[in-house]
């Protein structure tokens, strides 16, 4: 690839859609598949998913979750046992009707989600209160045949995710489970991805089909749109009743279990790319970066041996603690290497030239803003650790500022529409609870209620911002991915 081909030609500020697609492809994260709506995840993109997966998987296991795997095909009769699932997902279900040349006796759904295949087996495995709680998770792909334009990681017909499914003795235990997972998603976004999240719940008409409560973490993108970054559902007893999850309690009385489900998809990668990256390419927080540090020796003919030896020793020392790449390629000049590593999102670059060798130093360059600092060779480990912490802090601060500046109050149809149209972001207003009031805004400007506050706090206005009836709660409107 030439230096010209490395460059990002689109502008994040003026053309975010085309810019995003260019970053995804030029940074080697994904390509478009020959079938519309699907993508091919390249090694660098999959490495990001693996690192994200590693954090969540570890936290899940620390809190009693066990991994499992269920078939990707779900018999139609299983799907139909929970009517809300059928109604909620029917337009998006892909069906298998033939096996080889033979027509199947029963259609098989390619899983849009797995409640209807996992819950019946939980029902078989749970007999007593001693079997509870049961916590299962699977890492897999699902298919939802949406007729929308492909946006890698944000919107594809097939996507990777994890889906957790649990059964509990009481409503309160299931509620605690739902909130535990929501806070783990928040931890992932804030501590690992450097993206502040807003926690809330979905309105009744936008809950997971059949759920008692759907909670969400929302993340605001720089283009003013919200991303549903992860969801956690309290399913009440609806699924347990449909699939027969019964247990005997301590008094030998038969009870119905309470279930939850919760999931986070590779949409998180889309949020990561969109939030931090810039017109030079990909930007990745240090915790997720496949390569955290790249060491680039810069030499002339008479200094080559000394510079390379010094730089190689430094890279080897750091490699035990950090994920390090030592780039001593002969066929590329330093400028090309700098641009390539910036495009690929390496958080920290260490430049070693003759002056660094003579002075026993190293020059550290931060990816987000090009800030550089000269540190002594003896303190390189601590200096790199501090620099990576600083890179994370810069990324989080920029995302936090974007969020804080883009939550606005509005009241009245015209003011709500005007505020969203001009600024994007979140607009909070009083809401009467009627879906028709959301539709007024949604039809006009494609913004919807993305969340309601988790707690029963007083509405921000006494009356509904659309119809002027009494407000029951605060609604956050936004355009979303």
Mark whether 205 and 354 lie in a shared domain. no
Asked if the structure places residue 395 within a domain, the reply is no
Domain identity same for 371 and 417: no
Judge if 349 and 217 occupy the same domain: no
Tokens of 56: 């969540």
Task: Determine, yes or no, domain membership for 282.
Answer: no
CATH code of the domain covering residue 449 = 3.30.110.30
Asked if residue 348 is part of any domain, the answer here is yes
Is 32 within a domain? yes
In a shared domain, residues 221 and 123: yes
Predicted pLDDT of residue 82: 74
CATH of the domain at 323: 3.40.50.800
* Same domain, residue pair 69 and 179: yes
Residue finishing a domain among 249, 276, 303:
276
Residues 228 and 200 in one domain: yes
The encoded tokens of residue 452 equal 């309601």
Residue-range definition of the domain harbouring residue 472:
407-478
**What pLDDT score does 3 carry?**
54
Q: Tell me, yes or no, whether 129 and 167 share the same domain.
A: yes
Closest CA to 36 of 142, 159, 154, 147: 147
Q: What is the CATH number of the domain that holds 180?
A: 3.30.930.10
Instruction: Please give the pLDDT value at position 7.
Output: 87
Residue numbers of the chain with a pLDDT score lower than 50:
none
Task: Note the pTM of the prediction, 2 decimals.
Answer: 0.96
> What pLDDT is recorded for position 105?
97
Position 216 in a domain: yes
| SS3 of the chain | CCHHHHCCCCCCCCCHHHHHHHHHHHCCCEEECCCCCCEEECHHHHHHHHHHHHHHHHHHHHCCCEECCCCCEEEHHHHCCCHHHHHHHHHHCEEEEEECCEEEEEEEEECCCCHHHHHHHHHHHCCEHHHCCEEEEEEEEEECCCCCCCECCCECCEEEEEEEEEEECCHHHHHHHHHHHHHHHHHHHHHHCCCCCEEEECCHHHCCCCCCEEEEEEEECCCCCEEEEEEEEEEECHHHHHHCCEEECCCCCEEECEEEEEEEECHHHHHHHHHHCECCECCCCCCCCCCCEEEEECCCCCCHHHHHHHHHHHHHHHHCCCCEEECCCCCCCHHHHHHHHHHCCCCEEEEECHHHHHHCEEEEEECCCCCEEEEEHHHHHHHHHHHHHHHHHHHHHHHHHHHHCCEEECCCHHHHHHHHHHHCCEEEEEECCCHHHHHHHHHHHCCEEEEECCCCCCCCCCECCCCCCECCEEEEEECEC
pLDDT at position 91 is 85
Domain presence at residue 393: no
- Whether residues 116 and 224 share a domain: the answer is yes
- Tell me how far apart the alpha carbons of residues 472 and 416 are, in angstroms, rounded to a whole number: 18
Same domain, 300 and 370: yes
Domain-located, residue 345? yes
Last residue of a domain, which of 276, 308, 337?
Answer: 276
**What pLDDT is stored for residue 1 in this prediction?**
56
- Do 126 and 161 lie in one domain? The reply is yes
Residues 42 and 167 both lie in one domain: yes
Among 357, 388, 419, where does a domain finish?
388
Q: Which of 429, 423, 418, 417 is nearest to 459 (CA)?
A: 429
Query: Is 330 part of any domain?
Result: yes
pLDDT value at residue 149: 84
pLDDT at 81: 85
Q: Are residues 334 and 471 in the same domain?
A: no
**What's the confidence (pLDDT) of residue 13?**
95
- How many structural domains compose the chain? 3
């Amino acid at each position: 690839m030439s230096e010209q081909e490395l460059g990002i030609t689109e502008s994040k500020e003026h053309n975010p859609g085309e810019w995003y697609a260019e970053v995804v492809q030029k940074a080697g994260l994904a390509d478009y598949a020959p079938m519309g709506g699907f993508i091919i995840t390249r090694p660098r993109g999959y490495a990001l998913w693996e690192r994200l997966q590693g954090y969540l998987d570890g936290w899940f296991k620390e809190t009693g979750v066990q991994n499992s795997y269920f078939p990707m095909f779900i018999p139609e009769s299983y799907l139909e046992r929970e009517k809300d699932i059928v109604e909620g997902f029917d337009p998006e279900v892909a069906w298998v009707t033939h096996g080889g040349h033979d027509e199947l006796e029963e259609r098989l759904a390619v899983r849009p989600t797995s409640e209807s295949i996992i819950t019946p087996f939980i029902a078989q495995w749970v007999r007593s209160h001693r079997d509870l709680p049961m916590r299962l998770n699977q890492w897999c792909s699902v298919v939802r045949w949406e007729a929308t334009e492909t946006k890698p990681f944000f919107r594809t017909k097939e996507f990777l995710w994890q889906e957790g499914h649990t059964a509990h003795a009481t409503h309160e235990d299931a509620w605690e489970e739902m909130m535990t997972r929501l806070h783990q998603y928040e931890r992932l976004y804030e501590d690992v991805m450097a993206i502040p999240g807003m926690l809330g719940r979905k309105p009744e008409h936008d809950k997971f089909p059949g759920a008692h409560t759907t909670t969400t973490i929302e993340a605001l993108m720089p283009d003013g749109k919200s991303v549903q970054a992860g969801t956690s559902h309290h399913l009440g007893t609806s699924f347990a009743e449909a699939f027969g999850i019964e247990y005997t309690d301590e008094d030998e009385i038969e009870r119905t279990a309470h279930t939850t489900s919760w999931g986070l998809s590779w949409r998180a990668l889309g949020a990561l790319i969109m939030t931090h990256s810039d017109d030079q390419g990909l930007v990745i927080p240090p915790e997720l970066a496949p390569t955290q540090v790249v060491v680039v020796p810069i030499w002339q003919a008479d200094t080559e041996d000394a510079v390379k030896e010094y730089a190689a020793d430094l890279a080897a020392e750091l490699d035990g603690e950090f994920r390090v790449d030592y780039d001593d390629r002969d066929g590329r000049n330093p400028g090309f290497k700098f641009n390539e590593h910036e495009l690929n999102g390496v958080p920290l670059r260490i430049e070693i030239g003759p002056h660094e060798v003579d002075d026993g130093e190293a020059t550290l360059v931060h990816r987000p803003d090009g800030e550089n600092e000269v540190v002594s060779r003896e303190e390189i480990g601590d200096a790199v650790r501090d620099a990576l912490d600083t890179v994370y802090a810069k990324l989080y601060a920029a995302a936090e500022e974007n969020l804080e500046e883009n939550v606005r109050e509005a009241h009245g149809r015209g003011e709500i529409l005007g505020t969203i149209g001009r600024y994007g972001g979140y607009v909070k207003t009083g809401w009467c609870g009627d879906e028709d009031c959301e539709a007024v805004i949604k039809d006009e400007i494609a913004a919807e209620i993305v969340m309601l506050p988790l707690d029963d706090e007083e509405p921000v206005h006494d009356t509904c911002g659309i119809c002027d009836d009494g407000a029951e709660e605060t609604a956050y409107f936004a355009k979303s991915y």
